[in-house]
Amino acid sequence: MSSAVEQLKQHLGEIHDLSCASRVLGWDQQTYMPPGGARQRAQHRATLSRLIHSKFTSEETLRLLDAAEPETQSLPEEHDDRCLVRIVRRDYERSRKLPSDFVAAWTRDASLSNQVWREARRANDFPAFRPHLESMMDYARRAADYYGYEDHPYDALLDGYEPGLKTADVRRVLDVLHPAQVDLARAISQKEAPRADFLYREYPEGAQGEFGLAVAAEFGYDLQRGRLDVAPHPFETDFGRDDVRITTRYDCHYLPEAIFAIFHETGHALYEQNISPSLSRTPLDSGCSNVFHESQSRLWENLVSRSRSFWQRYFPRLRQLFPAALADVTADEFYRAVNRVQPSLIRVEADEVTYNLHIMLRFELEMGLIENQVGVADLPEVWAVKMREYLGVTPPDDRDGVMQDTHWSTGSLGYFPTYALGNVMGAQIYETALQADPGIAAQINQGRFDGLRGWLGENLYQHGRKFLPGELAVRVTGRPLDPQPYIAYLQHKFGELYGL
């Protein structure tokens, strides 16, 4: 007869399979599904979400957990089985607070809302999206009430993306980042901007994808277990470590958009493809949290792919693909152009110095929404005011203003702060990796990434969700989340670039 732990794993494996099926439907909706299929797809995913939630929060799960717990208590704290029982117990206690019908309704309406967002953004039609966004905000507030909280309803939502994180923790980090990044941006604004005209020339879509995917493969993205597609908003999704997919979006007259999105999503994908096989078909078979996931996407997108040594290596190859557009451009000019600091309308196109200001704006608006201090009807106007306040730019329309991100279309409040904290954690992790292996920087100039990827695989990737984020931060870097390495990185890099 199998042990209680094995019985629990079998039970959780079936739930994992259902979750993967739902994610396949979500990936298809964003990539290949015809628009007319939105309503039926919403029902498909609602049914699956109800089944998943009901099965996970069932008395059977509780019985199996209770039986498995004694079997694991004598195991080392880092043993897979002991970690599994501990994390699943936490997930179970949180998930059972939401009624299954509520989860199904939210999934159904979020799927419809996302489809409306796609069409409304294309048409610059916020009024068409507004009732769906109001519904999503209502779902988020109700979820916070179901979960419960001690200090602030936003805490309950943050916990879904970053277990243990509190609103006060976010404020503490952003309060350190804000003055440092504003001061840096202000100093840079007094300097001459680098040449960047060539970024807006003709760049055929196919060659962009060819370059981005080839580099992703050199990073270590296994194309036998992954693929690249097009979506309105780039994302990574996975159905287990052996099927990890990424997407991008193309602009034939702006080269950085697609290639850096590919590098960003590859960072997510490397994490998922390198989780230990021993965690497959369990709730531990994914990245630890949003902050750790974003630490990897931002690490590979920025600390690696926007570095001088990277473009010394890869610019000649890029110029071979686009000889006409880049004939009069040097590697150093290209490096400076893709690192230029210029307040922008679009978050995903923002430079490293101003990116977190986009996040601070969204965090402030989310706080207003969850507290009912900002109404959905007022968002376009408030958004424009905050963009002028934070970045000194004014959106010309709602398409590139309040409707530019996909997250709110599914009620994902609490997600945005993890981008800024991911920047911080990425710099902290990279600093630790360089201290452990100083040769990593030189390897990048040689087009070799096995040293960095190997270190990340051993110290971070393989563990999946075995540890809570606070625990993993100390395990990987020796200390809790610390904004100072990120600030030091920005000041050093952009100080050199702009002669500060």
Known catalytic residues are: 265
* CA separation for the pair 98, 210 (Å, rounded): 44
CB 246 within 8 A of CB 212: no
